[in-house]
Structure formats: structure tokens, C-alpha cells
Amino acid sequence: MSSIAQHTPRSGIRDVFDACEQVPDAISLALGEPAESVPAPAARAAVAAIRRGETHYTDVLGLPELRRAAADYTRRAKGLDYDPETEIQAVPGATFGLYLALRTLLDPGDEVIIPSPHFTSYDAQVLLCEGRPVYVPLRPENGMRLDAEDIAAAVTSRTKAVIINSPGNPSGAVTGADELERIARVCVEHGLWAISDEVYHAFVYGAAVTGAHAVAPSIAARTGMRERTIIVESLSKTYAMTGWRIGYLAAPAGLIAETAKIAELVHSSNNTPAQHAGRAALDGLDADVERMRLAYDRRRRIVLAALARSRTLRAPAPEGAFYAFIDVRGTGMPSAEFSRRLLAEQHVAVVPGEAFGAAGSGFVRVSYAGDPDDIREGMRRLVAFADGQRVRA
């Protein structure tokens, strides 16, 4: 087997998933799996496509009507214009879109700046593409938001790109437009690409909601960045379509021409009924997205209320996505041990922070995407366990 295969790290989230299966009555606060199901109009569109016999190959870029819907949505939600013919590409989920972006950009030894703690795929995919991940810290005292100075300090002559994730996984942090503008200046000055993972863009709360738009700002809208940004999008979270495996890239035409060429060789085309469902979702289900956003905000408040009662746990208040990144250092336990014992003794599954890189040590990630009653009971057990282990000064 190749050294790349053998040295590619396994997802720590998958490890928790496997462990949770051994505890049948466990409450899982581990996975970013919406409790919602796909909105009915999207499901009906897929069924109608199957009944019409539209189950054959499509253009590797995706169905024209899906690409038009993605372009219209991006204009409506983010104020960004992309040509659906040449600047939008359907992909089987954001993770695959991220891989296409990296595979298209990187030569062996090229560096990619990854603010960390980070989603588990980022550094693994850089390594798969023979690049070198370079980590910069996301600081709890800064609410785990991106910082332009930290990114600038990490730039070298081999830097090719920086991965932007806002709202962030695992922290739920939302980086504001002003800081994104400063990051944009770093990218323009050094000729860097931004790979912007925006799969949680529609789920923002509290102070992150500006004006009438409950959408996180995109670095592609900052000065000089449209021509050097690859937006990676997914319908998995926004429309609760995790199992449908449909998303899209929005990027300059020259970049899309290259990602399409690689995609043709890797998967030929996307799932046709899923593309019809995606078109229906993007075309007219904004109200469903807002309904889900408000539901996640209510669940977020359950988590925050539980943390407020704890004498041991702390967390930056999440402003987006559906995660809280909780500081468990007050228990005196490494986060991997905390997570293991919490599952064994309290039957609650969370993800240890180390799954998101070494910078996540001392934290655990809680997902509040699931059933509210499970979140309430899971958080009650988590707080009781942590307070029972509290290290007294």
C-alpha cells in the first residue's frame, strides 16, 4: 500500500461513531446530522425525476437547472454573481468539492494554511494531494474566530492557499466582514487562493445576524477576492440532505474547467435524482432554511443554559453552525479520556477536541443538531459528570 494511504489520518469523528454503536442507549451529541429530514418539495422533485426516467448520466458540471438554481441562490443569499454555465459545478458533497479544489491547486510540497481546530478532512486532504498543512491557532479568547495577523505570519514562499471556514466547525465561530477584509488583503498581497467552506453559511445567531440577512459573510465578497476564491457549498446541512450527497463549487471559470476535468476522471457525473432535489431546494425553500435556523437557535440555547449552570465547563458562545466547543480542562482530564469516560459512564457521546487537530486538546465538540430532548438530557449528564470531576484549586 502507498505511504500516502498508510499515513492519511482516520477521522476522529468516525472513531466516536464506531464507539457509540457499542452503547445502544447512548445519547449522541457527536455527529453533525440534522434531526430534520429533507423538505418535501425536494424529495418530490427527486421522485418525479425517477418516474420520468431521468436517471442517466448528466454533464459532469451538473444539470443546467441545478447550476442556475445555485447561481440564483448565491446571488440572493450572498450578493455574489456567478455564471451558471462556467462558474458553478455540482459535486457529490462538500468534502469531495474540497478535494477537487485542493487537487486542482496543489503541486507536491505546496503549503495550505489551516486555522485550527479544524474540520477533520482539511489536513488529511492536503496530505492526499501531496501538500503540506500549516496550522495557525484559533484562540478561545478571540471566540475561535479567524485572525488575519496569524494567517499573515504563517505565509511562506510555498504557500498556495488558505482554508476559510465560517461559521466554523468545530467551534460555531463566525468571522465578521471586517476581519475577512483584512484576510483578503493578505491573500491579495501574497497571491493566495482562499478555499471557503461555507456549508453552514445559513445558520447564524445573535450578534452574527446583521440587518435582515441571517447569513455569514463570504470572503469572496471582499475586495479582490472573487477571482481567487473557491466557495465550497453543500446542501447537506442547509436542507438536511446529508445522505443525498449533493453540493456545488462556485469559482472563476478557469478553475472550474480544471476541477471538472478531474471530476470527470474520478466520478463521471453526479447522482441525477439528487440533482433534481437540489434544484428544488435551492429554487424555493428559503422559508424551510429559516425555520431550521430558528430551531437550531432554540437548541443552541439549551446548550448555553446547561453550560451556564456548570461550575467546570466553559465555551465561546457559538454564533453559527450547530456546534459548541467546550473547554473541559477544569476536570483535570485530557479530552480523549473525558469523552471516553462520558460515553462509558453516562452514555453520552461527544467528540474529543484532538479529532480537530492538536489545537483542540482540552476541548470537546457537542452537536446540537439533533432532538431537543436528547440535547437537554445529554447536556444535563455532561455537566453533572464534569462538575463531579472538577479539579479544585
Please write the tens of the pLDDT for every residue from 33-53.
998 899 999 999 999 999 999
Could you tell me if 182 and 277 lie in one domain? yes
Could you tell me if 260 and 330 lie in one domain? no
Could you tell me if 276 and 299 lie in one domain? no
Could you tell me if 26 and 124 lie in one domain? no
Could you tell me if 269 and 317 lie in one domain? no
Residue type, 361: S
Contacts 24+ apart (CB under 8 A), 104-108: 104/255, 104/258, 104/259, 104/262, 105/160, 105/161, 105/193, 105/195, 106/130, 106/131, 106/160, 106/161, 107/160
CATH of the domain at 308: 3.90.1150.10
Could you tell me if 24 and 102 lie in one domain? no
C-alpha to C-alpha distances, 220 to 16, 78, 227, 234, nearest whole angstrom:
34, 9, 8, 17
C-alpha to C-alpha distances, 132 to 51, 100, 150, nearest whole angstrom:
47, 16, 17
pLDDT at residue 14, as a whole number: 80
Could you tell me if 26 and 49 lie in one domain? no
Please tell me the distance from the alpha carbon of residue 307 to that of residue 363, in angstroms, as a whole number. Answer: 14
Please give the distance of CA 251 from its chain centroid, rounded to a whole number: 18
DSSP secondary-structure letter at 311?
S
pLDDT at residue 211, as a whole number: 58
Please tell me the distance from the alpha carbon of residue 222 to that of residue 278, in angstroms, as a whole number. Answer: 27
- 89 domain-assigned: yes
- 393 domain-assigned: no
Please tell me the distance from the alpha carbon of residue 173 to that of residue 138, in angstroms, as a whole number. Answer: 10
> What is the domain range of residue 262?
40-285
Residue ending a domain, among 285, 313, 329, is 285
Could you tell me if 302 and 236 lie in one domain? no
Percent of the chain having pLDDT more than 90? 89
Could you tell me if 223 and 131 lie in one domain? yes
Residue ending a domain, among 232, 251, 285, is 285
> Diameter of the chain by CA atoms?
69
- 268 domain-assigned: yes
Could you tell me if 336 and 199 lie in one domain? no
Residue ending a domain, among 255, 285, 315, is 285
CATH of the domain at 269: 3.40.640.10
Please tell me the distance from the alpha carbon of residue 232 to that of residue 250, in angstroms, as a whole number. Answer: 7
pLDDT at residue 331, as a whole number: 97
Please tell me the distance from the alpha carbon of residue 285 to that of residue 44, in angstroms, as a whole number. Answer: 13
How many domains would you assign to the chain?
Answer: 2
Could you tell me if 201 and 326 lie in one domain? no
Could you tell me if 208 and 158 lie in one domain? yes
- Rounded to a whole number of angstroms, the distance between the first and last alpha carbons of the chain is 51
Q: Which residue stretches of the chain have pLDDT < 50?
A: 393
